[in-house]
Amino acid sequence: MNMSEQTEKIIDESRQGEALMVDQAETAGKRKMFLESYGCQMNFADSEIVASILTGQGYTTTSDISEADVIFVNTCAIRDNAEQRVRKRLNEFNQVKKKNPDLVIGVLGCMAERLKAKLLEEEKLVDIVVGPDAYRDLPVLIKTAEDGQKAINVILSKEETYADISPVRLGGNGITAFVSITRGCDNMCSFCVVPFTRGRERSRDPETIINEVRQLYSDGFREVTLLGQNVDSYLYAGGGLKKEIYSREELDSAVNFAQLLERVATEVPGIRIRFSTSHPKDMTDEVLHTMARHKNICKYIHLPVQSGNSDLLEKMNRGYTREWYLNRISAIRRIIPECGISTDIIAGFCSETEDQHAETISLMDEVKYDFAYMFKYSERPKTLAERKYADDVPEDVKGRRLTEIIDLQNRLSLESNKKDVGKVHEVLVEGPSKRSDEHLSGRTTQNKVIVFPKENYKPGDLVDVHVYDCTQATLLGNATGYSAGFKN
């Protein structure tokens, strides 16, 4: 289960751990909601579903908590420090509530599912607790809270995909958007809490996915990221749940992830397509060949490894060995030679030895990732690791190993970017750069950020950019003209 990896990932490095606050046009007399999201891409996408549901009930959004009637925090439970940040934020909201007793405060998402009544009764931080499969119940829960009762719904569903809801796009750049294709996770990685907070995996009807992408393109968006905890296990045959419940006839007509990619790329040829997250045990050559065939499918794969040691991977219940993982990397390099590759790495998992850590370092050196998300192991309640293994690697050892991993990846990222100097890349302009309104920022098909002088270009343009220099995180260039666009 992979959204704990890139996920639990995080939208991109510039938004890692940050809150997303949204502000749309407000209508006089309407009630106002304040939404704040933390953590993975799925949480941000879910906040857009919540906004759609409440907009249908007459709410508008605001970025000013002092004028909000309801405040919702969409939470992440993958690491303890994420939960602590949310608790701190909830305490700040409760200070606002002292001045406005009618204010309703709610927690959504994975932390809500994990902690449930504790947030309501023991800590008394919130009025509403809503799990990721219960957002349709929000209007009723708000009314319950306003009547002075504590409101909770954390029931996990085997069917809910929110396929019929058109998300309200919040606080983005109007160019890139997320489209959920699966919910939940059936991979029981021993370190991860996601199966317990998001439930069983189910896939969304491909027709609703394609229709949503079409609408996004019509609305001016030019790139979508197809989201799932494990996109490679996407499978739809008229239901939503996993293949073990399908008949042979249903399986014969089922749509797998490669086929979904093919359809989106073909039926909406003007939009650029990314996806997240892939799982090494499930990524097929069929997916890779589909990527290679279509220019509008970005040549970038996030393939979490977590550890370079096979024994540790078995303890993590990842379902593959070091050799299997390197075989998948070899297939990517063979079928899509120009593909960018990133990963997730955990330092200091239960009983990790120096030799096992060294194997992670050696795997990184062999693969030469373009970038990575790197973390110290954080034990999470209810996981297999918490029940079965001792979290016995000292914190100072975890920290030192993580520093070694980060230092190596910094070098690898710089080496990767230096290889792009002198080349011309097609860039989708996303908006102004962070440092100057006179420069624009966008991403290459390999998901690398390029900054270049604005000139007459604007967000949404496809521009060819010549790279003349780089930093560890960014390519620097000059536009050479508009790109010819996608030609599948």
Q: 212 and 83, same structural domain?
A: no
pTM of the model: 0.85
Q: How far is CA 167 from CA 77, 302, 409, 419, in A?
A: 23, 25, 36, 39
Q: 262 and 119, same structural domain?
A: no
CA distance 148 to 77: 28
Could you tell me if residue 164 is inside a domain? no
Q: 272 and 364, same structural domain?
A: yes
Tell me the residue range of the domain where 469 lies.
424-482
Q: 137 and 75, same structural domain?
A: yes
CA distance 409 to 403: 10
Site of tokens 């996770």: 185
Q: 395 and 255, same structural domain?
A: yes
Q: 53 and 182, same structural domain?
A: no
Q: 446 and 395, same structural domain?
A: no
304: nearest Cα among 372, 359, 358:
372
Q: 92 and 201, same structural domain?
A: no
Q: 428 and 358, same structural domain?
A: no
CA distance 184 to 376: 24
Q: 193 and 107, same structural domain?
A: no
456: CATH: 2.40.50.140
Could you tell me if residue 112 is inside a domain? yes
- Number of structural domains the chain divides into: 3
Burial letters 295-312, b for 16+ CB under 10 A, else e: bbbbbbbbbbbbbbbbbb
User: What is the reported pLDDT for 22?
Assistant: 40
**Is the dihedral angle over the CA atoms 368, 369, 372, 375 positive or is it negative?**
negative
Could you tell me if residue 165 is inside a domain? no
235: CATH: 3.80.30.20
Could you tell me if residue 6 is inside a domain? no
Q: 458 and 381, same structural domain?
A: no
Record the tokens describing residue 290, joined without a space: 């589909």
Could you tell me if residue 457 is inside a domain? yes
CA distance 142 to 6: 32
Q: 428 and 412, same structural domain?
A: no
Per-residue pLDDT of the chain (488 residues; tens, 9 = 90+): 443 333 333 333 333 333 333 444 334 458 999 998 887 778 888 888 999 999 999 999 888 998 899 999 887 766 667 777 888 888 899 999 998 989 999 888 877 777 776 777 666 788 998 888 889 999 999 999 998 888 998 888 888 888 888 888 887 789 999 999 999 899 999 999 888 878 889 999 999 999 999 999 999 999 999 999 999 999 998 754 555 566 666 677 789 999 999 999 999 999 999 999 999 999 999 999 999 999 999 999 999 999 999 999 999 999 999 999 999 999 999 999 999 999 999 999 999 999 999 999 999 999 999 999 999 999 988 899 999 999 999 999 999 999 999 999 999 999 999 999 999 999 999 999 988 899 999 999 999 999 999 999 999 999 999 999 999 999 999 999 999 876 44
